[in-house]
Amino acid sequence: MTLIAGNWKMYKGPAEAAAFCRELRQADLPADVDVVVCPSFTSLAEAVQALAGTEIGVFAQNCHWAAEGAFTGEVSAPMLQELGVYGTLVGHSERRQWFGETDELVARRVHACLEAGLHVIACVGETEEEREAGATHKVLRRQVASLEADDNLVIAYEPIWAIGTGRTATPEMAEEAHQSIKELIDVPMLYGGSVKPENAAELLAQPSIDGALVGGASLDVASFAAICGAAVS
12-64 per-position pLDDT tens digit: 999 999 999 999 999 999 999 999 999 999 999 999 999 999 999 999 999 99
The single residue of 46, 64, 92, 175 carrying the catalytic annotation is 92
CATH architecture assigned to 2-230: Alpha-Beta Barrel (3.20)
The single residue of 46, 101, 126, 158 carrying the catalytic annotation is 158
Known active-site residue 92: yes
Q: Say which residues have a Cβ less than 8 Å from residue 116's Cβ, sequence separation at least 6.
A: 67, 77, 78, 81
Q: Where are the domains of the chain?
A: 2-230
Cα 91–97–99 angle (5° rounding)?
A: 75
CA distance 189 to 174: 11
Predicted TM-score (pTM) of the model is 0.96
Could you report the per-residue pLDDT of 146-201, keeping only the tens digit for each? Answer: 999 999 999 999 998 877 777 778 999 999 999 999 999 999 999 998 899 999 99
